[in-house]
Structure 1
């Protein structure tokens, strides 16, 4: 378990943790032969893509490109299906808003930094979280809307 690069790390680690719990709770859920074949095939794919040394394969191993992090999380949750969590049922699939917000993270970060400089952060955060995760998702989209309005008004002044 660890922090792969170019991912949304903590949700991925949560999925890894659930899969680990499943493997410890039910060791027969893992097929050592299938797992070994998958590991060898993945390493061979990296070698075929230009990773010519063991170190290069190791460095590539922790980098997810494109949709790989979402596919990996979905597979981990699928494997862990049926494992209880403190918050109830595990998600079956990565939610679309997670993917979209991840892709827009630089735009959101820049806009949030602008809000911090303006001193309006407390106002924006008021009551966020009282109704759960959706409040935070809504905040991200409000920040994006703010950024885009700010950008278009700056463009209009030019």
Structure 2
């Protein structure tokens, strides 16, 4: 019984780590929204140069691995001063809440976040609904590489399974 309680406590303690990286939206609906609303300005190109979404758009930054990335940090893209300030000076990174707020009203979100009525964003387009914004985030997160921790956990599980198979085979 003590083992059960220990396992339950460990699982609860680990839950926030996994929940933090989880997107609440629908990735399939996000793909449709991306193709309707974002494809004209944005592209998703992985580190190997493979285009995962979009066309050859260059108006906006590459959205590959946007989740967890520092705001205003895509190399060779000219961001607004306000976005660079949040990224460099405040070391802010994209998460679902920030992404959803920003894409619904880029300049308004920057002004509120910085508490500066003169802050401006370069993105003029506004995603109309919070649901579409969350779905977009889920879609973009689905295109990103798996976080290192998940890869390590999967590797550990595979090693444990192999060890269990070996011990079962010798019995």
Q: Please, what TM-score do these two structures have when normalized by structure 1?
A: 0.25
Greater share of residues in strand = 2
Larger RCO (alpha carbons 8 Å, 6+ apart): 2
- Which is helix-richer, 1 or 2? 1
